[in-house]
Amino acid sequence: MHYEQSVKNLILGDRDLRYYIKTGRIYIEPYDEEIVRENGVDLRLSNEIAKLKNSQIPVDTRAKDLDPSDYYEVLKGESFIIMPGERVLLNTMEFIRLPDDIMAFVNLRSTFARLGILAPPTIVDAGFEGNITIEVVGGSFPVKVHAGDRFAHLIFARLLTPVEKPYIGDYQGQRGVRLPKMFKSPRTPP
């Protein structure tokens, strides 16, 4: 195969995505045909978020089982307000599973970006499974978001070859909003 042919379909389009989802190569639950877009999949906001608190207590990145209440407020509800400059962990309602030859880029949907909300670059590694937790930062004015809002967009890329070591890290299988691994959490594996 020529190099040009091998790189032709690195980013998956809507037809590829529907086929990969239908055949189970990419798993998304709950799935709705409406989330498949031209070149990716929209993900919806779950009913759980975590707001980062302002704290003067240093986080030791090598610590185990820190008390999250010193640093985070985990909230459940049908809507949330993101205040200006506030840092929030948002979580997808969709649970996804990727094979060892597909990864994804997570982007904030442009509607939220146009409201001034920012999200740092986030990658979903080949072999990952779970809900996706991403950080966002509030813009210049408060924004009310609702569970079920399509807030993130996944762009899937097919790798030239399967990875040697699919993702098996600390966030594998996560359900609900997931705090950093040094914090004790009911979702932290034993």
Summarize pLDDT for 13-67 with one digit per residue, the tens: 999 999 999 999 999 999 999 999 999 999 999 999 999 999 898 888 888 878 8
CA distance 18 to 12: 10
Confirm whether 69 is domain-assigned.
yes
pTM for the complete prediction?
0.87
In this structure, are residues 132 and 124 in contact, taking their beta carbons and an 8 Å threshold? yes
Please report which helix (H) or strand (E) contains residue 158, including its range: strand 150-158
CB-based burial label for 188 (10 Å; 0-12, 13-18, 19+): middle
In a domain, 168, yes or no: no
Q: Which domain holds residue 100?
A: 3-158
The mean per-residue pLDDT over the stretch 132-160 comes to 96
Whether residue 185 is contained in a domain is answered as: no
- For the stretch 65-103, pLDDT in tens is 788 888 999 999 999 999 999 999 999 999 999 999 999
187: pLDDT strictly greater than 80: no
Task: Return mean pLDDT, the chain.
Answer: 90
> Is residue 189 assigned to a domain?
no
In the set 4, 29, 34, 135, the catalytic residue is: 135
Q: Is residue 111 part of a domain?
A: yes
Q: What share of the chain is helix, strand, coil (3-state, %, to 5)?
A: 15, 40, 50
Q: Is 163 among the domain residues? A: no
**CATH number of the domain within which 149 lies:** 2.70.40.10
177 part of a folded domain: no
- Assess whether 135 carries a catalytic annotation: yes
- 134 within a domain of the structure (yes/no): yes
Number of domains in the chain: 1
Q: Residues near 147 by Cβ (< 8 Å), separated by ≥ 6? A: 44, 45, 46, 47, 77, 78, 79, 93
Number of Cβ atoms within 10 Å of the Cβ of 89: 19
